[in-house]
DNA sequence: ATGGTTGTGTTACAA
């Protein structure tokens, strides 16, 4: 059994105490991190390795940056989303670890709409769809986890009217997210939890956390071979309620061992 | 109330 979690930490250096205590307490087998906001050389590797994790880092100065932490050796590391060699933003890292292929994804926010940033978001999603198609050909278990910056449906935000016009719930964004699912991927949380009003992100402003004005934008997308082994998935709100938190909180799932009967 | 807060890294931008 493997626990796989995704968490947008909003700067690994500013969040290091929160990340270290979460790794020690929750002890995920694989952690997919986003917005590490640091170059590879400045990533606080030693402290995390001391907790028993191997690292794969695709960093960038100031913005973006993604990483994979795993208790198992990490092999076949690929940095960058295929499909545009001119794209220099560090938003995708993929590797094989613990018997699974995993990817840490920081999908572009895309605001304001319309504009170059929204065009980049949609083009990035089209590249992700193409890449997911190529991964599915191998018929292996994989998990594409990360901050998708997409509110899949109105039940995934506290006030749908407030988000009309935002890049996170534009029809073009939602349609492409559904295209990923229509390829055969399973969105782990929604597949097990039908209830609306469960969130993974709360804005820092205006007491959003205290009022539970959140949105669900952090997702775990599973290949059929991984989905067949899905045991549980949930959102861990604990880290969001601590001192100096990220504005996101971890989403995790459990994948049973291959061939296990349960 | 065209607001609010956080992080990076200079005083603007992204989220």
The answer to whether residue A61 sits within a structural domain is yes
Q: What is the DSSP letter of A157?
A: B
> Which nucleotides of chain B have an atom under 7 angstroms from any protein CB?
4-9, 14-15
The answer to whether residue A261 sits within a structural domain is no
Which residues are CB-neighbours of A112 under 8 A, at least 6 positions away?
A118, A167
Examine the pLDDT at A258 and tell me if it is beyond 90. Answer: no
The answer to whether residue A128 sits within a structural domain is yes
Protein residue nearest nucleotide B4, by CA to C1': A205
The answer to whether residue A262 sits within a structural domain is no
State, as a whole number of angstroms, the distance between the CA of A101 and the C1' of B10.
40
The string of pLDDT tens digits covering residues A97-152 is 999 999 999 999 999 999 999 999 999 999 999 999 999 999 999 999 999 999 99
How many domains does chain A fold into? 1
- In terms of Cβ atoms closer than 10 Å to its own Cβ (0-12, 13-18, 19+), residue A124 is buried
The answer to whether residue A75 sits within a structural domain is yes
The string of pLDDT tens digits covering residues A200-227 is 999 999 999 999 999 999 999 999 999 9
* DSSP track, A158-181: S-GGGGTT-GGG-HHHHHHHHHHH
The answer to whether residue A179 sits within a structural domain is yes
Q: Which domain holds residue A232?
A: 2-255
Neighbours of A75 (CB within 10 A): 12
What is the C-alpha separation between A193 and A211, in angstroms, rounded? 22
State, as a whole number of angstroms, the distance between the CA of A247 and the C1' of B6.
9
The answer to whether residue A152 sits within a structural domain is yes
Report which secondary-structure segment, H or E, holds A119.
Answer: helix A116-136
- Residue A262's pLDDT is what? 62
The answer to whether residue A260 sits within a structural domain is no
The string of pLDDT tens digits covering residues A5-46 is 999 999 999 999 999 999 999 999 999 999 999 999 999 999
Q: Across residues A231-235, what is the average pLDDT?
A: 98
Neighbours of A13 (CB within 10 A): 13
Q: Is the CB of A62 under 7 A from strand B?
A: yes
Q: Is the CB of A10 under 7 A from strand B?
A: yes
CATH number of the domain at A248, please. 3.60.10.10
Bridge-based pairing state of the strands A100-106 and A142-147: parallel
Q: Is the CB of A109 under 7 A from strand B?
A: yes
């Amino acid at each position: 059994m493997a626990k796989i979690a995704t968490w947008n930490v909003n700067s690994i250096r500013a969040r290091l105490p929160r990340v270290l205590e979460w790794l020690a307490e929750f002890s995920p087998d694989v952690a997919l991190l986003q917005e590490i906001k640091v170059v590879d050389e400045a990533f606080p590797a030693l402290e995390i390795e001391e907790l028993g994790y191997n690292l794969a880092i695709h960093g960038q100065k100031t913005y973006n940056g993604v990483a994979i932490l795993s208790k198992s050796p990490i092999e076949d590391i690929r940095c960058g989303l295929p499909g545009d060699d001119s794209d220099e933003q560090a938003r995708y890292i993929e590797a094989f670890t613990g018997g699974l292929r995993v990817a840490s994804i920081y999908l572009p926010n895309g605001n304001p709409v319309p504009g170059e940033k929204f065009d980049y978001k949609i083009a990035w999603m089209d590249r992700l769809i193409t890449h997911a198609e190529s991964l599915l050909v191998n018929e292996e278990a994989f998990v594409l986890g990360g901050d998708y910056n997409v509110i899949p449906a109105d039940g995934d935000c506290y006030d749908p009217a407030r988000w009309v016009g935002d890049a996170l719930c534009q029809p073009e964004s939602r349609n492409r997210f559904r295209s990923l699912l229509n390829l055969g991927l399973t969105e782990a949380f929604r597949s097990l939890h039908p209830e609306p009003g469960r969130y993974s992100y709360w804005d820092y402003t205006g007491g959003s956390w205290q009022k539970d004005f959140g949105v669900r934008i952090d997702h775990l997308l599973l290949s059929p071979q991984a989905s067949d082994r899905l045991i549980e998935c949930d959102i861990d709100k604990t880290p969001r309620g601590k001192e100096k938190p990220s504005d996101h909180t971890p989403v995790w799932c459990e994948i049973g061992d291959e061939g296990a009967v349960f």
